[in-house]
Amino acid sequence: MPRDSRSEYEWRMHKVVTHIDDHLERPLDLAELADVAHFSAFHFHRLFAAWAGETLGDYVRRRRLEVAALRLATQPRLSVLEAAVSVGFGSGEAFSRAFRARFGSAPSSWRAAHDWSLLPEANSNPDQIELHGFTKNGPGPRRDPDGAASPEPPMNVELIIRPPVTIAYLRYVGPFGAPVGAFWGEQVAPWITRHRLWSGARYGISHDDPSITPPEQSRYDACVEVPEDFVPDGGFQKTVLPGGRYAALRFHGLPAEINTAWTRLLRDWLPGSGFQFDNRPAFEHYAASYAYDDNTHAFECDICIPIAPL
């Protein structure tokens, strides 16, 4: 069944932004990106700006700097110059100027301030907890009624090899946390029910770090496993979630508690593991067999981060 007009338009634009993220290390010109989208180069710049809310040049520049910042935070042995070259900057000086203009500090100073081994142990504003992705404002260790920190349970992190999986996804753009839960309940779950896909695994993919990307531009994909020949509709797109080596942490708890698990994995386990993030997306994996409590909303999932040797 062919896509409807709106789904076709969305699919072409998603192809463009995926192509941009996959090729940040080299020049990206208007004609090339228009060709990826199968749109006229004469009109593509205006079409992209209307869809993305920013010009093509501004979007590419922002993504180069955000990806470089994420790599500086997650790949401790990557030099500033290597980070610059990996996203298409020809010199360290040009990169440092652009980075300072975007983030307000030099790359090396920014990296030191975003060392995950120094994540805060307490969150002074619980309302700002992000429930998904790479947030660095976790609530820290549990505390006894007298205020003393109580021991956290040991982490059972498993190193696994995941196969690639075909997924249909609907993208949400905006602040993470409670709005993502509403997005699943109001838009994603009814679509999964309508297409009888609850027997497949679900995934939540946070593409951006809320401490790097402005909340109103942060991207999250709500995903469900589908057959390879599945044709999505209703604004859903289809892609392949990459396989490979991941570190997986099983979580069971309330929605407001999953941020603690993300924080502990990044703060306590990753720095001493001998691994670092690679460039595949991290995600939450919800197997069809995993528990969910309708009364308490407690749920079970695997937090999966893609890893490569240091």
3-state helix, strand, coil in the chain (%, to 5): 40, 20, 40
**Res. 280: pLDDT tops 50:** yes
| CA distances from residue 23 to 17, 33, 266, 309 in whole angstroms, order as listed | 10, 11, 27, 23
184-231 pLDDT, tens digit per residue, is 999 999 999 999 999 999 999 999 888 899 999 999 999 999 999 999
What CATH topology corresponds to 157-309?
A: Multidrug-efflux Transporter 1 Regulator Bmrr; Chain A (3.20.80)
Q: What is the pLDDT of residues 43-74, one digit of tens each?
A: 788 888 888 889 999 999 999 999 999 999 88
Question: Using an 8 Å Cβ cutoff, are 235 and 6 in contact?
Answer: yes
pLDDT category at 178 given cuts 50, 70, 90 is: confident
Comparing 24-38, 126-140, 193-207, 269-283, which segment has the lowest mean pLDDT? 126-140
Q: Where in the chain is the domain with CATH 3.20.80.10?
A: 157-309
Q: Does domain 5-113 have CATH number 1.10.10.60?
A: yes
Say yes or no to pLDDT of 250 above 60.
Answer: yes
Please check the confidence at residue 129 and state whether its pLDDT lies above 50: no
In terms of average pLDDT, the best of 44-53, 91-100, 117-126, 175-184 is: 91-100
Question: pTM to 2 decimals?
Answer: 0.77
CATH 1.10.10.60 domain extents, the chain: 5-113
Six-digit token string for 31: 């004609």
pLDDT reading at 269 higher than 70: yes
| Mean pLDDT score, 169-179 | 92
Direct distance between the N- and C-terminal alpha carbons of the chain, in angstroms, rounded to an integer:
46
